[in-house]
Every structure is written in structure tokens, then in C-alpha cells.
């Protein structure tokens, strides 16, 4: 594992000199280890030839402590009463990353992230990465309504990118439903952790509110003090 340090924001009078921390994995390096050290996969540079990861306030669920909250149970019960949603886990190599699939993903991105939608070039980079090896497919009556790209081994899962048909937001919180189904799969299959990306700003607090067993990486170690995490998020300038 090769570490890369890039100069970032500074507060000279306080003697605070910021550096962003990245790493590049060698062929012999363990992806699971990178996640356990607070690193997440970076795809912001579409010209990158290496598997770059960045250190951040990553969050994960300790699945020994996870159980479905009453609100999640209510949503699942409500969805089941209206829709017959099928969930299938497919190996990356067996999934057809077709033009239609890519259009689905990019259209979702345009709807949800108006100021910074996903480009086709970045999506192709995401698909090519080694830290994506399986995909969850959600469908109703044979029509695909959502996907989640994940890294999956016997111990951990990384919930990386999700895409869904936003019209279903009128019927139920499809994003939360999809995330919970994937988390529950990891729990049921006796994994240790599922990583859920970063946790910055008030908008990220749903991850803390909706799921039990949350831990966050503080730059040195994993912490489970949710009160502190909430305060950090509330004070973030994002």
C-alpha cells in the first residue's frame, strides 16, 4: 500500500496544516484492510490508472449490533403490501452493463444530483474498479427499479453506488428501503461490517438515525459515540 499526501486547507495562526491522505493498493494489498483503515474508493479523476482510495470520516455498521428498527419494519411491511419486489445478487462478471443500464444510472444521477451528475466516463471507471465485484438488482414484475454496486467478501460489504427509479419516491422511500435490504442481507449472511460511505453534514444524519450499530472513523480509530458524530455533522461546512 502506497500512501499519498496532498496539501489541503490551512489555518496558519492555529498551526493547523491540512493534508488529504490517499493510498494506492498494490496487487498484493487487501481491499478489506483499506476499508478497515478508514479509506474509501476514489473515482473523482477519470484519468487515474491506479486504484486510489481516500481517507475520510467513513461510517460502517457493526453487524453484531444491528437490528431492524421499528420504522424500517413499518416501511418494509408497507412496501410488501403494495409491491412484489424481487432482489437478486449478481456477480459483476455475469451482469450486463448495457447502454440501457448506464442510461438508467445517469438519469438517476441527473434527477438526484442536479449540480454534479454522474458522467458516462466516471461510471465506466466505477464499473472497472476492483472494489466493485457484485451488484444487487431490484425489480417489480420483471422491470428493474434499482441497483446497488457493492464490494462483497465473506467478512464485509461496501455499499458503494445506488441507483433507482425516482418515480417510486411518490410511493415509498425507495432509497432507504434498498439500503436497508442490503444491510439486512449482510447481517443475515453473518458478515462483520457493512461500510456506508462518508458521513458529513446534516444531510448525512439519516444514516445515523435510521440504523443501529453505527461506527465512524475519526482519523485514528473507529468510534461508536453517536452523540459526538451528530455534533460533528451539524458543525460541518458542506
- Give per-residue pLDDT as tens, 126-171: 999 999 999 999 999 999 999 999 999 999 999 999 999 999 999 9
108 domain residue, yes or no: yes
129 domain residue, yes or no: yes
51 domain residue, yes or no: no
29 domain residue, yes or no: no
In three-state secondary structure terms, 145 is strand
Q: What is the CATH number of the domain that holds 90?
A: 3.40.630.30
20 domain residue, yes or no: no
C-alpha distances out from residue 31 to 34, 35, 79, 210, Å: 5, 7, 35, 27
Phi, psi dihedral angles at 102 (to 5 degrees): -65, -40
Number of domains in the chain: 1
15 domain residue, yes or no: no
177 domain residue, yes or no: yes
Residue 83: give the domain boundaries.
59-235
User: pLDDT tens for residues 26-56?
Assistant: 776 789 999 999 999 999 988 888 889 999 9
User: pLDDT tens for residues 163-216?
Assistant: 999 999 999 999 999 999 999 999 999 999 999 999 999 989 988 888 999 999
124 domain residue, yes or no: yes
Closest CA to 189 of 135, 153, 137, 136: 153
Amino acid at each position: 500500500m502506497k500512501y499519498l499526501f496532498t496539501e489541503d486547507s490551512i489555518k496558519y495562526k492555529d498551526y493547523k496544516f491540512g493534508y488529504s491522505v490517499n493510498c494506492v493498493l498494490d496487487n498484493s494489498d487487501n481491499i478489506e484492510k483499506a476499508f478497515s483503515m478508514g479509506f474509501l474508493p476514489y473515482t473523482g479523476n477519470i484519468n487515474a490508472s491506479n486504484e486510489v482510495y481516500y481517507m475520510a470520516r467513513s461510517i460502517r455498521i457493526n453487524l453484531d449490533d444491528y437490528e431492524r428498527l421499528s420504522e424500517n419494519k413499518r416501511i418494509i411491511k408497507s412496501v410488501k403490501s403494495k409491491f412484489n419486489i424481487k432482489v437478486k445478487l449478481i456477480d459483476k462478471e455475469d451482469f450486463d452493463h448495457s447502454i440501457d443500464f448506464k442510461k438508467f444510472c445517469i438519469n438517476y444521477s441527473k434527477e438526484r444530483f442536479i449540480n454534479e451528475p454522474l458522467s458516462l466516463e466516471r461510471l465506466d471507471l466505477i464499473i472497472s474498479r476492483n472494489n466493485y465485484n457484485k451488484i444487487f438488482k431490484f425489480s417489480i414484475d420483471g422491470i428493474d427499479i434499482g441497483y446497488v454496486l457493492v464490494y462483497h467478501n465473506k467478512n464485509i460489504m461496501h455499499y458503494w453506488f445506488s441507483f433507482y427509479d425516482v418515480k417510486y419516491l411518490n410511493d415509498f422511500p425507495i432509497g432507504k428501503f434498498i439500503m436497508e435490504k442490503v444491510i439486512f442481507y449482510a447481517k443475515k449472511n453473518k458478515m462483520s461490517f457493512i461500510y456506508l460511505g462518508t458521513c458529513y453534514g446534516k444531510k448525512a444524519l439519516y444514516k445515523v438515525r435510521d440504523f443501529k450499530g453505527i461506527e465512524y472513523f475519526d482519523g485514528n480509530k473507529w468510534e461508536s459515540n453517536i452523540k459526538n458524530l451528530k455534533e460533528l455533522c451539524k458543525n460541518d461546512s458542506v
